[in-house]
Chain A
Amino acid sequence: MIKKTGNLNKNRIISRRLFVLVAAKIGLLGIVTSRLYNLQISEKQKYEVLSDKNRIREWKTPPQRGIITDYFNNVIADNQRVYQVHLSLEEVSNFNNSIFKLKNIISLKEDEIKKIYEKKEKSKPWDTLIISENLSWKEFSKLNLYLHELDGAKPVLSTSRYYPYSNDLVHVVGYVGDATTQDIQNKKKIEENFVPGLKVGKIGIESSKDTDLIGNHGTKRFEVNASGKKISEISYNKETQGENLRTTIDLEIQQLAQELLKNQAGSICVMDIYTGEVITMASSPTYDPNKFTHGISTKDWNEIKNNKLRPLLNKSLAGLYSPGSTIKPLVALAALEYGIIDTKFKVNCKGHDHPYELHGERYHCWKKNGHGWMSMRNAIKQSCDIYFYEVARLLGVDKLSLIAKRYGLGSKVLEDFFSEEKKGIVPSTKWKKQVLEQSWYLGETVITGIGQGYIQTTPLQLCLMTAQLANGGYKIKPNLIYDKEIDIDIIKSKIESEKNKSVDQNILKDHGFKYYERLYRNPNNLKFVLDAMYGSTNEQFGTSFKSRHTEDKYKFAGKTGTSQVKRITDQDRELDLDLEEIEYKNRDHALFIAFAPYNKPRYSLSVLIEHGGSGSKAAAPLANKLIKKILDRHELREKIRKDLKNIA
């Protein structure tokens, strides 16, 4: 009985204790279940994101740069297929070993290897390293042959920038190179689309229009496993090509211009005097932009940098030169517009023995024996200095400055399109006070009248000036990229309506002008100046008479200029050395401005030969050949213009 009650008691204890245990179990199960609820329902989204982060990795694919063409659709900046070798770091077991093997196959140089190691330091373990951007076909096929020995190495077909007319357009088109940290910081578009190996514009159109040219990068999303190995492609948001750009350049004329400038330092600019289209902007010497695409070698870079003729300088818009006698038509125009003198005003040029004198200073004409009595037309035609000393004195520098600025000097022609463009100097009394903190001397006015002294212009400014004279005195909008908004017919009709507009009193005061607005007071003044330029080229004793075209349709009008780089002493004058006898750096710059065809002007041009000697001998002859080419291609250009208009 004792045992039985004991057993009963024991049974009770076990049951009671079990009850406690079961209660505990239910409690614990509740905890686990609520934890599951918490993870899978309350915080589901957080863990979903984490899970996707785990499994999905994005790779950016490089965008394709837009193509750049000339006006006639000739490709001047292309994307070319290149052979590359990439190294996928996550698949490389021994990096040093891989590089050693690659070195033997594709002949890497020591400095290239150094760069690769630097790049590797900055990469993440799953990144892909570009070992070589531009392999020859031979290297590429050799690489494929030994591929099985090279873990992680990948032969890749890619595209890179290629300039088919390498040297001819570098100052216009520019070149590309690897994006630097600065590039990425400065341009949002680059930052947004950056992928390792992305090429961005460094100078020229490539740089100015980078935002349009770059395009958008693509995104490949891959599912990866825990060790980062790609399992499958989930999505591919394809990269896009940047905008294709049509420039206003005529490749053939550009090439001719470069050819004409060969072995000399200088510039040739050609512009449509109505549309402002820059048809040619040549600068010499040039260099090969293709060398920069994959990083230029130190040797090549030094060669370019140390060339005394300064190939890196875009002389058309960053080279500053005294305009010399090419300013004379403008001086004459200013004097006529302000009514200082009339066209019959005469000055006697008496040669070196009787120079122009002012306050004890003596000013000589370039012509030793003098021109004799000069009227305005003759003075422009024969480029008499004495005449313009006197006209400038009468006119005053401030009026001259105002007219010079009005016709395009002293400001950037392409506005901010090229960062390197210079605005030059058009001096005035106010300018001298502000910049040099000195007062103006009348003697300085006198030499400004022949384009010497403080005045500094770029060849492109001279070209624009000529254009705005030749079109009858209307402000135009220079441009380098084809713009369908700029329509020749609209411009001509605007000009036509401006012509008949009555001018107000303030036309000769300093104020801003809108595009295609008339810049002159009296159209006869302009006509007179243009006619004088015609004489300069097409009449005997004209300074560019030897470079004239006799055939009517090629007839052009121009003005030579010879800009001194150093003051001519009396001794120099006496010696009267030939060009070859003067040290190169002391030789005069040769300039020439012109417009054509004379009877129905359409194009203006400027030619500059650094240290070329006289404008009539060195610069004007080039214009002869250029103008023939330009006019021969006029019909074709107009046809393209019409086609483009119809497409739009």
Chain B
Amino acid sequence: MLSMSLNSTTYSFIDKLKAVDYFLIIIVAIIGSISVFSIYSTESGNFSFYTKNHLIRFLVFFFMFLILSFIRVSAWYRQAYIFYIIGILLLLYVMLFGISASGSKRWINLFVMNFQPSELMKIAIIVCFARYYHHIQSSDIQSYKYLLQPTVLLLIPCYLVIAQPDLGTAILIAGSGLAIIWLAGLNLKYFVYSGLILLVSLPFVISVLKPYQKSRILTFFNPERDPLGAGYQIIQSKIAIGSGGFLGKGFLQGTQSYLEFLPEKHTDFIFTLFSEEFGFVGSAILIFLYALLIYRIIRIGFLSRSFFAKLYCFGFASALFLYIFVNIAMVVGLLPIVGAPLPIMSYGGSSMLSIMLGLSIVMSCKIYSRDPIGG
């Protein structure tokens, strides 16, 4: 009864505005501005195609983030499974009717932009799992039923994304899902077991990998193996970052990217460009900004009353961290090149859309933090 009445808590518009986390918005705006200048630099200081597109997308999705923040968090809670199912349906649609580019089928043509449903799935899985674990008592979590269901929920999108093929996104989806399962309290031993199983089945997994994926992994361990082929990207990326030094070569002065030694400099390697031009100091500041962003999200999780909001915020923060870590670790040569964009910084509409959507749900948790959400 108590919960029923609280569920219908009303918020005045002023309350809502007061509850907004402006600090978080400012951080997003700063990172967004940095990203626009970085993309501008990839075009050697010409305000043309990529810069224009990126700026427009950032502005549009940033406003979308602000507006969607006012959707009540309980609405997200209620529609969580629908969200998940829409994600799965879109992935199936891609499989059948998607647009192919360079050997993989990842996109749906939305006329204004090519939309990548796997990016949306990254958020959907978090929302879905937050709802799933919202009710479950910690005492029940270790039961086989509650072990099996989320595993299936996680494996379906992962399979669909790997089939595109898009190993990087699949890993990020799996990672985000696992983060929530971990937060919900699943016994450590299951993680250890599944880790061992993965290790044992690794030879088998490698055998099903596409040749280019195999070559990427082998190249990761030894980039000089094929300096003009698969190792080229990582070698050139390391050269760019290393030659940036402490203070960097200066804005628009990154020779590696300007002279087109850097591949994919708009997307996956945007950090490399930034790091070449702004050096160790710039990179550290950018990483610090991301850390602040993650801190704000976790803080909102703590302030929220409902498990859904907590799980979502902590889950999203972990996912965001994972995206950032995988991308940077990849371009500095700590991880194989798997194809993972850097949130907000990388050029790409779908990624921007999913991050902003994810952030708006976080903000919704903040605005409606007193909502306990019925169970």
Partner of A37, one of B280, B307, B325: B280
Partner of A29, one of B179, B246, B261, B325: B325
Partner of A32, one of B245, B311, B325: B325
Decide if A415 is an interface residue (CB 8 Å cutoff): no
* Contact B287 A33, beta carbon cutoff 8 Å: yes
* Contact B245 A41, beta carbon cutoff 8 Å: yes
Given that A54-B256, A55-B259 are contacting pairs, would A44 and B242 also be in contact in the complex, using a CB cutoff of 8 Å?
Answer: yes
CB under 8 Å from chain A, chain B span 317-375? 318, 321, 325, 328-329, 332-334
A43 → B minimal CB distance (Å): 6
- The docked-state distance in angstroms from the alpha carbon of A80 to that of B301 is 83
Decide if A51 is an interface residue (CB 8 Å cutoff): yes
Decide if A358 is an interface residue (CB 8 Å cutoff): no
CB under 8 Å from chain B, chain A span 173-196? none
Decide if A227 is an interface residue (CB 8 Å cutoff): yes
Given that A46-B242, A51-B255 are contacting pairs, would A40 and B279 also be in contact in the complex, using a CB cutoff of 8 Å?
Answer: yes
Decide if B139 is an interface residue (CB 8 Å cutoff): yes
Decide if B220 is an interface residue (CB 8 Å cutoff): no
- The docked-state distance in angstroms from the alpha carbon of A326 to that of B53 is 98
Partner of A48, one of B138, B245, B283, B294: B245
Partner of B242, one of A29, A48, A231: A48
Please, which residues of chain B bring their CB within 8 A of the CB of A573? none
A17 → B minimal CB distance (Å): 5
- The docked-state distance in angstroms from the alpha carbon of A224 to that of B255 is 10
Please, which residues of chain A bring their CB within 8 A of the CB of B183? 14, 17-18, 21
Decide if B244 is an interface residue (CB 8 Å cutoff): yes
Partner of B307, one of A10, A28, A29, A50: A10
Decide if A243 is an interface residue (CB 8 Å cutoff): no
B84 → A minimal CB distance (Å): 21
* Contact B311 A43, beta carbon cutoff 8 Å: no
Please, which residues of chain B bring their CB within 8 A of the CB of A48? 242-243, 245
* Contact A18 B259, beta carbon cutoff 8 Å: no
* Contact B138 A32, beta carbon cutoff 8 Å: no
Please, which residues of chain A bring their CB within 8 A of the CB of B138? 6, 9-10, 13
> What residue of chain A has the Cβ atom nearest to residue B186's Cβ?
A17
Chain A, interface residues (CB within 8 Å), range: 35 or more
Decide if B185 is an interface residue (CB 8 Å cutoff): yes
* Contact B284 A47, beta carbon cutoff 8 Å: no
A222 → B minimal CB distance (Å): 11
A-contacting 9-mer, from B12-20, B143-151, B209-217, B233-241 = B233-241
Decide if A262 is an interface residue (CB 8 Å cutoff): no
Please, which residues of chain B bring their CB within 8 A of the CB of A227? 260
A163 → B minimal CB distance (Å): 46
Decide if A225 is an interface residue (CB 8 Å cutoff): yes
CB under 8 Å from chain A, chain B span 168-215? 179, 182-185
* Contact A44 B246, beta carbon cutoff 8 Å: yes
* Contact B261 A226, beta carbon cutoff 8 Å: yes
Partner of B283, one of A9, A22, A36: A36
- The docked-state distance in angstroms from the alpha carbon of A224 to that of B261 is 10
Please, which residues of chain A bring their CB within 8 A of the CB of B236? 54
- The docked-state distance in angstroms from the alpha carbon of A7 to that of B138 is 8
* Contact A41 B243, beta carbon cutoff 8 Å: no
> What residue of chain A has the Cβ atom nearest to residue B332's Cβ?
A35
Partner of A14, one of B240, B259, B310, B325: B310
* Contact A39 B298, beta carbon cutoff 8 Å: no
- The docked-state distance in angstroms from the alpha carbon of A492 to that of B185 is 113
6 residue pairs A–B, Cβ–Cβ below 8 Å: A13-B138, A28-B325, A35-B333, A36-B241, A41-B280, A55-B261
7 A-B pairs closest in CB distance: A47-B242, A51-B243, A13-B185, A40-B280, A225-B259, A39-B242, A226-B260
For the complex with contacts A6-B138, A224-B259, 12 further pairs of A-B residues with Cβ separation under 8 Å are: A14-B183, A14-B185, A14-B307, A17-B185, A18-B314, A32-B287, A35-B329, A40-B241, A40-B283, A41-B280, A51-B242, A51-B255
The interface of chain B, by Cβ under 8 A from chain A, is: 137-139, 179, 182-185, 236, 238-246, 255-256, 259-261, 275, 279-280, 283-284, 287, 291, 294, 298, 301, 307, 310-311, 314, 318, 321, 325, 328-329, 332-334
The interface of chain A, by Cβ under 8 A from chain B, is: 6-7, 9-11, 13-14, 17-18, 20-22, 25, 28-29, 31-33, 35-37, 39-41, 43-44, 46-48, 50-51, 54-55, 223-227, 231
